[in-house]
Amino acid sequence: MRIYSWNVNGIRAAVRKGFVDWLEGCDGDIVALQEVRALREQVPDELLDADGWHHEYQPAERKGYSGVGLITRSPAESIATTLGSDEHDAEGRLQIARFGKLTIANGYFPNGNGKNRDNSRIPFKLDFYARLFDRLQPLVDAGEPVLVMGDLNTAHEEIDLARPKENVNTSGFRPEERQELTRWIDSGWVDTFRHFEADGGHYSWWSQRGGARARNVGWRIDYILASPAAMPYVRAASIHPEVLGSDHCPISVDIDPGLLR
Protein backbone atom coordinates (compact mmCIF):
# COMPACT_ATOMS: atom_id res chain seq x y z
CA MET A 1 0.00 0.00 0.00
CA ARG A 2 1.50 3.33 -1.05
CA ILE A 3 0.77 6.71 0.52
CA TYR A 4 1.89 9.94 -1.14
CA SER A 5 2.26 13.49 0.10
CA TRP A 6 2.70 16.41 -2.31
CA ASN A 7 2.65 20.18 -2.05
CA VAL A 8 1.12 20.88 -5.47
CA ASN A 9 1.49 24.69 -5.32
CA GLY A 10 -2.08 25.15 -6.58
CA ILE A 11 -4.23 22.22 -7.66
CA ARG A 12 -5.60 24.05 -10.67
CA ALA A 13 -2.11 24.75 -11.96
CA ALA A 14 -1.03 21.18 -11.19
CA VAL A 15 -3.93 19.75 -13.20
CA ARG A 16 -2.89 21.90 -16.17
CA LYS A 17 0.60 20.40 -15.81
CA GLY A 18 -0.52 16.76 -15.89
CA PHE A 19 -1.53 15.96 -12.30
CA VAL A 20 -4.43 13.71 -13.34
CA ASP A 21 -2.18 11.58 -15.54
CA TRP A 22 0.25 11.26 -12.64
CA LEU A 23 -2.55 10.35 -10.22
CA GLU A 24 -3.90 7.63 -12.48
CA GLY A 25 -0.45 6.10 -12.90
CA CYS A 26 1.03 6.57 -9.42
CA ASP A 27 -0.19 3.28 -7.91
CA GLY A 28 -1.15 5.15 -4.75
CA ASP A 29 -3.93 4.41 -2.29
CA ILE A 30 -3.85 7.71 -0.40
CA VAL A 31 -2.60 11.04 -1.78
CA ALA A 32 -2.27 13.91 0.69
CA LEU A 33 -2.04 17.36 -0.89
CA GLN A 34 -0.87 20.68 0.49
CA GLU A 35 -1.17 24.23 -0.85
CA VAL A 36 -4.27 23.31 -2.84
CA ARG A 37 -5.25 26.99 -3.09
CA ALA A 38 -8.82 26.30 -4.22
CA LEU A 39 -12.32 25.84 -2.88
CA ARG A 40 -13.92 22.46 -3.54
CA GLU A 41 -16.01 23.98 -6.34
CA GLN A 42 -12.82 25.32 -7.94
CA VAL A 43 -11.14 21.92 -8.17
CA PRO A 44 -11.13 21.01 -11.89
CA ASP A 45 -13.79 18.52 -12.99
CA GLU A 46 -11.06 16.62 -14.82
CA LEU A 47 -9.65 15.69 -11.42
CA LEU A 48 -12.93 15.14 -9.60
CA ASP A 49 -14.10 12.84 -12.40
CA ALA A 50 -10.99 10.65 -12.29
CA ASP A 51 -12.17 7.07 -11.80
CA GLY A 52 -12.08 5.39 -8.40
CA TRP A 53 -11.07 8.28 -6.14
CA HIS A 54 -12.71 9.98 -3.17
CA HIS A 55 -11.95 13.66 -2.53
CA GLU A 56 -11.89 15.71 0.66
CA TYR A 57 -10.67 19.32 0.72
CA GLN A 58 -10.14 21.81 3.50
CA PRO A 59 -9.64 25.32 2.08
CA ALA A 60 -8.45 28.46 3.79
CA GLU A 61 -10.93 31.25 4.42
CA ARG A 62 -8.76 33.47 2.24
CA LYS A 63 -9.32 32.55 -1.40
CA GLY A 64 -6.37 31.23 -3.39
CA TYR A 65 -4.29 30.58 -0.28
CA SER A 66 -3.06 27.49 1.57
CA GLY A 67 -5.52 24.57 1.80
CA VAL A 68 -5.09 20.80 2.04
CA GLY A 69 -6.76 17.83 0.43
CA LEU A 70 -6.98 14.05 0.55
CA ILE A 71 -7.56 11.91 -2.54
CA THR A 72 -8.11 8.30 -1.53
CA ARG A 73 -9.14 4.94 -2.97
CA SER A 74 -11.37 4.28 0.05
CA PRO A 75 -13.15 7.04 1.98
CA ALA A 76 -11.86 8.02 5.37
CA GLU A 77 -13.98 6.90 8.31
CA SER A 78 -13.65 10.34 9.88
CA ILE A 79 -11.86 13.63 9.20
CA ALA A 80 -11.14 16.45 11.65
CA THR A 81 -9.77 19.80 10.50
CA THR A 82 -9.30 21.90 13.62
CA LEU A 83 -6.45 22.53 16.03
CA GLY A 84 -8.65 24.53 18.37
CA SER A 85 -7.05 27.78 17.27
CA ASP A 86 -9.16 30.09 15.12
CA GLU A 87 -6.04 31.73 13.71
CA HIS A 88 -4.60 28.43 12.51
CA ASP A 89 -7.90 26.87 11.49
CA ALA A 90 -8.74 29.82 9.23
CA GLU A 91 -5.76 28.96 7.04
CA GLY A 92 -6.98 25.46 6.11
CA ARG A 93 -3.76 23.69 7.02
CA LEU A 94 -4.85 20.37 8.52
CA GLN A 95 -6.80 17.16 7.99
CA ILE A 96 -6.68 14.35 10.56
CA ALA A 97 -8.23 11.30 8.91
CA ARG A 98 -8.93 7.81 10.15
CA PHE A 99 -8.52 4.72 7.95
CA GLY A 100 -9.16 1.62 10.04
CA LYS A 101 -6.59 1.63 12.85
CA LEU A 102 -4.40 4.17 11.06
CA THR A 103 -4.61 7.92 11.66
CA ILE A 104 -3.13 10.22 9.04
CA ALA A 105 -2.44 13.89 9.76
CA ASN A 106 -2.05 15.82 6.51
CA GLY A 107 -0.52 19.20 7.30
CA TYR A 108 0.63 22.28 5.45
CA PHE A 109 2.84 23.68 8.19
CA PRO A 110 3.22 27.46 8.13
CA ASN A 111 6.24 29.21 6.71
CA GLY A 112 7.98 31.41 9.27
CA ASN A 113 8.45 34.30 6.85
CA GLY A 114 6.37 37.42 7.30
CA LYS A 115 5.37 39.72 4.47
CA ASN A 116 8.89 41.15 4.33
CA ARG A 117 10.69 37.80 4.80
CA ASP A 118 11.46 38.90 8.34
CA ASN A 119 10.91 35.58 10.21
CA SER A 120 7.99 37.22 12.03
CA ARG A 121 5.71 34.19 11.54
CA ILE A 122 8.07 31.74 13.24
CA PRO A 123 6.11 31.88 16.55
CA PHE A 124 2.89 31.14 14.62
CA LYS A 125 4.63 28.26 12.86
CA LEU A 126 6.02 26.78 16.09
CA ASP A 127 2.61 27.07 17.73
CA PHE A 128 1.14 24.99 14.89
CA TYR A 129 3.81 22.32 15.46
CA ALA A 130 3.19 22.28 19.21
CA ARG A 131 -0.61 22.18 18.94
CA LEU A 132 -0.49 19.28 16.48
CA PHE A 133 2.00 17.41 18.66
CA ASP A 134 -0.32 17.77 21.66
CA ARG A 135 -3.37 16.83 19.58
CA LEU A 136 -1.77 13.56 18.46
CA GLN A 137 0.00 12.61 21.68
CA PRO A 138 -2.98 10.78 23.25
CA LEU A 139 -3.09 8.50 20.20
CA VAL A 140 0.65 7.88 20.43
CA ASP A 141 0.40 7.20 24.17
CA ALA A 142 -2.36 4.68 23.47
CA GLY A 143 -0.09 2.81 21.07
CA GLU A 144 -2.05 3.71 17.96
CA PRO A 145 -0.37 3.96 14.55
CA VAL A 146 -0.16 7.54 13.25
CA LEU A 147 1.49 9.06 10.18
CA VAL A 148 2.11 12.81 9.97
CA MET A 149 2.79 14.02 6.46
CA GLY A 150 3.08 17.16 4.46
CA ASP A 151 5.12 20.25 3.84
CA LEU A 152 6.69 20.78 7.25
CA ASN A 153 8.54 23.86 5.95
CA THR A 154 11.66 22.88 7.92
CA ALA A 155 14.91 21.24 6.85
CA HIS A 156 15.93 19.27 9.91
CA GLU A 157 19.69 18.85 9.54
CA GLU A 158 22.46 20.29 7.36
CA ILE A 159 22.19 17.22 5.14
CA ASP A 160 18.62 18.25 4.30
CA LEU A 161 19.48 21.32 2.23
CA ALA A 162 22.10 22.08 -0.37
CA ARG A 163 23.42 25.27 1.22
CA PRO A 164 23.08 25.11 5.01
CA LYS A 165 25.67 27.73 5.91
CA GLU A 166 24.02 30.39 3.73
CA ASN A 167 20.61 29.72 5.29
CA VAL A 168 21.20 29.63 9.03
CA ASN A 169 19.05 32.74 9.45
CA THR A 170 16.43 31.76 6.90
CA SER A 171 13.04 30.50 8.05
CA GLY A 172 13.00 26.79 7.43
CA PHE A 173 16.47 26.32 8.85
CA ARG A 174 16.44 28.55 11.91
CA PRO A 175 17.68 26.80 15.09
CA GLU A 176 14.33 27.11 16.88
CA GLU A 177 12.49 25.49 13.96
CA ARG A 178 14.98 22.64 13.71
CA GLN A 179 14.83 22.19 17.49
CA GLU A 180 11.05 21.74 17.35
CA LEU A 181 11.39 19.01 14.75
CA THR A 182 14.10 17.43 16.89
CA ARG A 183 11.63 17.42 19.79
CA TRP A 184 9.28 15.28 17.71
CA ILE A 185 12.06 12.85 16.77
CA ASP A 186 13.31 12.64 20.35
CA SER A 187 9.75 11.83 21.44
CA GLY A 188 9.69 8.73 19.24
CA TRP A 189 8.48 9.98 15.86
CA VAL A 190 10.53 8.54 12.99
CA ASP A 191 11.59 10.49 9.91
CA THR A 192 10.73 7.68 7.51
CA PHE A 193 12.93 8.81 4.62
CA ARG A 194 15.98 9.25 6.83
CA HIS A 195 15.33 5.81 8.35
CA PHE A 196 16.07 4.25 4.95
CA GLU A 197 18.47 6.81 3.41
CA ALA A 198 21.50 8.23 5.19
CA ASP A 199 23.06 10.12 2.28
CA GLY A 200 22.56 13.73 1.26
CA GLY A 201 21.53 15.26 -2.05
CA HIS A 202 17.86 14.29 -1.67
CA TYR A 203 15.48 17.26 -1.73
CA SER A 204 11.75 17.85 -2.15
CA TRP A 205 11.62 21.60 -2.89
CA TRP A 206 13.62 23.85 -5.18
CA SER A 207 13.44 27.58 -5.80
CA GLN A 208 11.92 28.44 -9.16
CA ARG A 209 14.74 30.92 -9.75
CA GLY A 210 18.17 30.35 -11.22
CA GLY A 211 17.67 26.80 -12.46
CA ALA A 212 17.84 25.47 -8.89
CA ARG A 213 16.00 22.25 -9.65
CA ALA A 214 18.16 21.38 -12.64
CA ARG A 215 21.24 21.94 -10.46
CA ASN A 216 19.60 20.14 -7.51
CA VAL A 217 20.09 23.09 -5.17
CA GLY A 218 17.16 22.24 -2.95
CA TRP A 219 15.69 21.65 0.48
CA ARG A 220 14.09 18.55 2.01
CA ILE A 221 11.12 20.15 3.77
CA ASP A 222 8.44 17.54 2.99
CA TYR A 223 8.24 14.64 5.44
CA ILE A 224 6.29 11.59 6.47
CA LEU A 225 6.75 10.97 10.18
CA ALA A 226 5.71 7.64 11.71
CA SER A 227 4.68 7.08 15.30
CA PRO A 228 6.39 4.19 17.15
CA ALA A 229 3.37 1.95 16.52
CA ALA A 230 3.27 2.78 12.80
CA MET A 231 6.96 2.46 11.97
CA PRO A 232 7.16 -1.37 12.06
CA TYR A 233 4.71 -1.43 9.14
CA VAL A 234 6.68 1.00 6.95
CA ARG A 235 8.49 -0.94 4.24
CA ALA A 236 10.02 1.91 2.20
CA ALA A 237 10.14 5.70 1.96
CA SER A 238 10.92 7.64 -1.20
CA ILE A 239 11.27 11.07 -2.76
CA HIS A 240 10.21 11.42 -6.40
CA PRO A 241 12.15 14.35 -7.92
CA GLU A 242 11.41 13.16 -11.45
CA VAL A 243 7.74 14.14 -11.02
CA LEU A 244 7.20 17.70 -12.20
CA GLY A 245 4.22 20.04 -11.93
CA SER A 246 5.12 21.96 -8.75
CA ASP A 247 8.14 23.52 -7.07
CA HIS A 248 7.86 20.54 -4.69
CA CYS A 249 7.95 16.88 -5.71
CA PRO A 250 5.92 14.03 -4.21
CA ILE A 251 7.20 11.89 -1.37
CA SER A 252 5.84 8.48 -0.37
CA VAL A 253 5.87 5.57 2.01
CA ASP A 254 5.01 1.96 1.30
CA ILE A 255 3.26 0.29 4.20
CA ASP A 256 2.03 -3.16 5.07
CA PRO A 257 -1.78 -3.05 4.61
CA GLY A 258 -2.04 -4.87 7.93
CA LEU A 259 -1.47 -1.48 9.54
CA LEU A 260 -5.07 -0.57 8.76
CA ARG A 261 -6.58 -3.67 10.33
What is the per-residue DSSP string for 60-98?
Answer: -SSTTS--EEEEESS--SEEE---S-HHHHTT--EEEEE
Q: How far apart are CA 65 and CA 215, in angstroms?
A: 29
SS3 of 175, please? Answer: helix
> Letter for the amino acid at 11?
I
Pick the catalytic residue from 21, 49, 89, 151: 151
Helices H, strands E: what count in the chain? 7, 14
Query: Is 118 designated active site?
Result: no
**What are the DSSP calls for 204-255, one per residue?**
SEE-SSTTTTTTT-EE--EEEEE-TTTGGGEEEEEE-TT--SSSB--EEEEE
Q: Which residues are catalytic?
A: 151
